Structure 1
Amino acid sequence: MKWIAYLLIAAGILTMSYPKLKAAYTTHQEKELVSEWEAAKKSYSSLDTVFASESAAAASEKPADPPPKNGSLLGKISIPRIEVELPVVEGASQKNLKNAAGHLEGTAPLGGAGNAALAAHRSYTYGKQFNRLNEMKKHDEIMVETADGEFTYKVFSITIVEPDDTSVLKQKEGENILTLITCEPMKNPTHRLIVQAKKQ
């Protein structure tokens, strides 16, 4: 009979530990992706010396890059106010958002002209991610790193919208906007929390 009691105690401990273990595993995966981005960034910068002898004319003849593939690593986003550092991948699928912020396909490229949109979870199941996005304030800074460089954005708008309100994704000519999207409220979400920032 004692072994049943021990078994029940062990099962209880495992059940209570599961959410923390899952969150720790997800945080570990996020950190691995950020490390992968840092390594890729070093590789990109080392190419500067390799290609330094290329003429400007040859560079201008280069064909346009194909759009990134779904799930490909684009860079990272850092938000000092809410202590966020997340990898950014192409596509906002459920799979991609488990460990990263997802760039919405069809929106502007990160750092480029137009409105670039990123979505991330706000659920404790997936670790930190955008859990604290509601703490953002106007004029807060958001940093984005990509293969094209490092970009700083300043928050100018924080709103809550209906899930089907796509007006926040409108491309604004002549402006470089970053739109962050997550669910609102955190539990049983009915709306979307939107933070928008302009490139500095």
Structure 2
Amino acid sequence: MKKRLLCGILLIALGAGVYFYPDWSAVRTKHQQEQVIRQFQSEGSISDMQQEQEAENEDTVWTETVLEQSKAYNETLFETEQAAFRDAEAVKVVPDFFPDAREPIGILSIPAMDCTLPLYVGATDAHLNLGTAVLGGTSLPVGGKNTNSVIAAHRGWKNGKYFKEIEKLRPGNAVFVENPWETLCYKVEACEVIAPTDSERLKIQEGRDMLTLITCHPYRSHGASRYVVYCVRTESGQGSFTVTESGDEKREEQPIEDASTPDIQRELWCRRIGVCLILGCICMACVQTGKHLRKKQRRKKA
């Protein structure tokens, strides 16, 4: 009886450990993201940093020179029609002039999704595991005419949120990018589902200052399609979304198929039911343990 009880407790503990591992991993990842965000924000704006550095005669990481190089890089992308963006490996590329590819260039905040994540340049596995990443071959997130910074993130990784609830976004929702020099504000203009190979939909549109969010769709589909959210800079006063290929035609609204929200809700309820079952097993184990101890005490008294 004692051995069976012990084996039962160990099995319950093992099952609970396996079940809650994704949650523990998500908490750990969120803690890492918060640390990165706090460190980025604690460094202050570039103007504040430069004043301090001038006084101390030290080098800064994100200097005005890097800002000018970033703007020049964006201009070159537009002039060359993003020729390198057709290469799948190009999305991982970081510009040569970047001081440190391991450091985030900013923070992406999306209030409608309750989402605040570090923003890196180059969609490497390491960057995507920590937060969001600007696809190599697209505009750097410094704003300006003839730019489109395409930002990717996991749809949900190790139970983390990332862009899991991207379908909550609606036209008019705000999206903020805090870079080392300023905070840029964009508004959602349109959403659509595209094929993974349809890179033309992600290219720069002449005369526009844009931000594009992209992730896998539907949820838990292993990248069958891509869910894309097009955003436009609020200060620019630009009008409706235009199709990339023509540049002149207005985009026709298309219904989003295979909506992931029901699947996400089912997953949430399944996890809640799982928690209840585990707690029920623990309670049963405690009851059985109590009965076993009481029987043992009665035998001793007898």
TM-score computed with the length of structure 2 as normaliser: 0.59
SS of the residue corresponding to residue 70 of structure 1 reads coil
Partner of 2:231: 197
| Correspondence list, 1:138-177, <5 A | 138-177=171-210
How many Å apart are 1:19 and its aligned residue?
1.4
How many Å apart are 1:157 and its aligned residue?
1.5
- Say which is worse superposed, 123-132 or 137-146, in terms of deviation: 123-132
How many Å apart are 1:124 and its aligned residue?
4.8
How many Å apart are 1:26 and its aligned residue?
1.2
Rounded to whole Å, the distance in 1 between the matches of 2:50 and 2:28 is: 34
SS of the residue corresponding to residue 141 of structure 2 reads coil
CA distances 1:26-54 after superposition (whole Å, capped 9, x unpaired): 111111111121122357524246659xx
Match of residue 155, structure 2, among 122, 127, 131: 122
1:96 aligns with 2:130: no
1:87 aligns with 2:121: no
Q: Going by fraction, where is strand more abundant, 1 or 2?
A: 1
Rounded to whole Å, the distance in 2 between the matches of 1:193 and 1:123 is: 13
1:111 aligns with 2:120: no
Amino-acid identity (%): 28
1:14 aligns with 2:17: yes
Opposite residue 88 of structure 1, the aligned amino acid is: L
Contact 1:122 1:130 (8 Å CA) reproduced = yes
Partner of 2:26: 23
Unaligned stretches of 5+ residues in structure 1: 53-58
SS of the residue corresponding to residue 125 of structure 1 reads coil
Rounded to whole Å, the distance in 1 between the matches of 2:134 and 2:99 is: 10
Opposite residue 162 of structure 2, the aligned amino acid is: Q
Looking at both structures, which has the greater relative contact order when contacts are Cα pairs under 8 Å and sequence separation is at least 6? 1
Contact 2:47 2:181 (8 Å CA) reproduced = no
Opposite residue 16 of structure 1, the aligned amino acid is: Y
Match of residue 168, structure 2, among 135, 141, 150: 135
Opposite residue 208 of structure 2, the aligned amino acid is: E
Runs of 4+ in 1 over 4 A off after TM superposition: 49-52
CA distances 1:111-165 after superposition (whole Å, capped 9, x unpaired): 3231111100111525111111111001111011001211100111211000100
Contact 2:117 2:131 (8 Å CA) reproduced = yes
Rounded to whole Å, the distance in 2 between the matches of 1:166 and 1:63 is: 27
Rounded to whole Å, the distance in 2 between the matches of 1:150 and 1:98 is: 24
Partner of 2:106: 75
Contact 2:196 2:225 (8 Å CA) reproduced = yes
Rounded to whole Å, the distance in 1 between the matches of 2:116 and 2:233 is: 18
Opposite residue 173 of structure 1, the aligned amino acid is: E
Rounded to whole Å, the distance in 2 between the matches of 1:171 and 1:43 is: 27
SS of the residue corresponding to residue 161 of structure 2 reads coil
Q: Going by fraction, where is helix more abundant, 1 or 2?
A: 2
Alignment RMSD, CA only? 2.4
Rounded to whole Å, the distance in 2 between the matches of 1:12 and 1:38 is: 40
Contact 1:104 1:118 (8 Å CA) reproduced = yes
SS of the residue corresponding to residue 227 of structure 2 reads strand
Contact 1:68 1:90 (8 Å CA) reproduced = no
How many Å apart are 1:68 and its aligned residue?
5.5
How many Å apart are 1:174 and its aligned residue?
2.1
TM-score computed with the length of structure 1 as normaliser: 0.86
Partner of 2:219: 186
**Shift in CA distance, 18/141, structure 1 to aligned 2, threshold 3 Å:** same
